Amino acid sequence: MERRRLGRTDLQVSALCLGTMTWGEQNTEAEAFAQIDRAKAAGVNFIDTAEMYPVPPRVETYTATERIIGNYFKRHGDRADWILASKIAGPGNGIDYIRGGQPRHNRAQLREALEGSLRRLQTDYLDLYQLHWPERSTNFFGRLGYRHAEQDFTPLEDTLEALDELVREGKIRHIGLSNETPWGTMTFLKLAEARGWPRAVSIQNPYNLLNRTFEIGLAEIAMREDCGLLAYSPLAFGMLSGKYEGGARPPQARLTLFSRFARYNNPQAQAACSRYVALAREHGLDPAQMALAFVTGQPFVTSNIIGATSLAQLESNLASPSLTLSDELITAIDAIHTAQPNPAP
């Protein structure tokens, strides 16, 4: 599998990254182990998790995903074969059980969160540690419109200085952002350059055929600043696979099980999705593989985070990098996007 440079580091990550947010909720530990084995055999060397996982977040399953990954490393002893990424949670998002219900990106909480992740993952270091979403009130998780609010949040300088300490201690190799805005990304990068603090090497934001908002502002930053996209939800919670077409709700599928995942399920998104699915089938392609190939092929994407609840789904996802989309197909995709731009931002 193709390897790509992570930011300006010496790390080479696979073009596909193994996502893990279903492990401990929709997937058992044994199923997660099988996914890791299969992904590794296919050439994947990059795995992404978070202290908050699995999703949907619940106090009963909090940290289960990291524990599963740690158990895998303990059993297989191959931690050094992987580029391992995790994330610290931010405030809000319905989470009232993490660090007293007031998660912050300050020095004390960054250390507490990181050390907890290291214990659960049974490792001494993370290759990439990411701020899961901004502490301040801004646009992420599908929020439209901007309403400026003066609020108390940890200054970005304090966050970056605290991360610098953890990098110097060898507990983190590199830092990354997630669900971040152009302003936040450039502020972190400028502070790093001015103060000699760690430079963000990636930004993990949503990107798929139903949500190409990353292309507006952030894509240029990703290219010019070598802060590439780690694309999450490349299949829009499975919508772009075609399995929900016609209102279908397959047993054990995410949108069947969890009503909270409505981001990609509004009427506009459903209509656009149907057009992409039909386009793939007209060209004799698997809709999911077409959607994944579109994301992986973007020049600002460092790695495409794939997630699966079955080995069959994972197998299909792992085959997607071999698909090259023709100019004709890209033109048709862009025509749908022009007619129905970003129906699920």
Is 262's pLDDT higher than 80? no
pLDDT average, residue stretch 85-114: 95
| 38 occurs within a structural domain | yes
What's the number of domains the chain is made of? 1
Judge whether 244 lies within some domain: no
Instruction: Give per-residue burial for 85-115: e unless 16+ CB within 10 Å, then b.
Output: bbbbbbbebebeebbeeebbbbbebbeebbe
pLDDT digits (tens, 9 = 90+) for 26-58: 999 999 999 999 999 999 999 999 999 999 999
Q: 104-118, 184-198, 248-262 — which is least confidently predicted?
A: 248-262
Would residue 196 count as lying in a domain? Answer: yes
Q: Whole-number mean pLDDT of the chain?
A: 96
CA distances from 228 to 147, 194, 299 (A): 27, 21, 9
**345 assigned to some structural domain:** no
- Is 1 within 8 Å of 15 (Cβ atoms)? yes
Place 130 in a pLDDT band, splitting at 50, 70 and 90. Answer: very high
The pTM (predicted TM-score) of the whole model is 0.97
Residue 41, amino acid: A
Query: Does some domain include residue 342?
Result: no
Q: Is the pLDDT of residue 230 over 90?
A: yes
In a domain, 107, yes or no: yes
User: Amino acid identity of 115?
Assistant: E
Query: Which pLDDT does position 250 carry in this prediction?
Result: 82
Active-site annotation, residues: 53
**The predicted structure's pLDDT at residue 315:** 98
Which domain CATH number covers 60? 3.20.20.100
Q: Is the pLDDT of residue 133 over 80?
A: yes
Range of the domain at 9: 3-238+300-323
Q: Would you say how long the chain is, in residues?
A: 345
Residue 41 lies in a domain: yes
What average pLDDT does the segment 150-179 reach? Answer: 97
What pLDDT shows up at residue 296?
98
The percent of residues in the chain predicted with pLDDT above 90, rounded, is 88
Whether residue 101 has pLDDT greater than 80 = yes
- State yes or no: pLDDT of 252 exceeds 80: no
- What pLDDT is attached to residue 265? 85
- Whole-number pLDDT of residue 251: 83
pLDDT of amino acid 38 = 98
Which tops the pLDDT comparison, 256 or 33? 33
Q: How far apart are alpha carbons 269 and 271 in whole angstroms?
A: 5
Give the pLDDT confidence score for residue 202 in this predicted structure. Answer: 98
Average pLDDT over residues 125-131: 99
What pLDDT is stored for residue 94 in this prediction? 84
* Residue 290 falls inside a structural domain: no
Residue range 179-194: average pLDDT? 98
pLDDT in tens, 267-326: 999 999 999 999 999 999 999 999 999 999 999 999 999 999 999 999 999 999 999 999
The half-sphere exposure of 245 on its side-chain side, counting CA atoms within 13 A, is 14
Q: What is the secondary structure of 290-303 as a DSSP string?
A: HHHHHHHT-TTEEE
Q: Are residues 202 and 227 in contact, defined by beta-carbon separation less than 8 angstroms?
A: yes
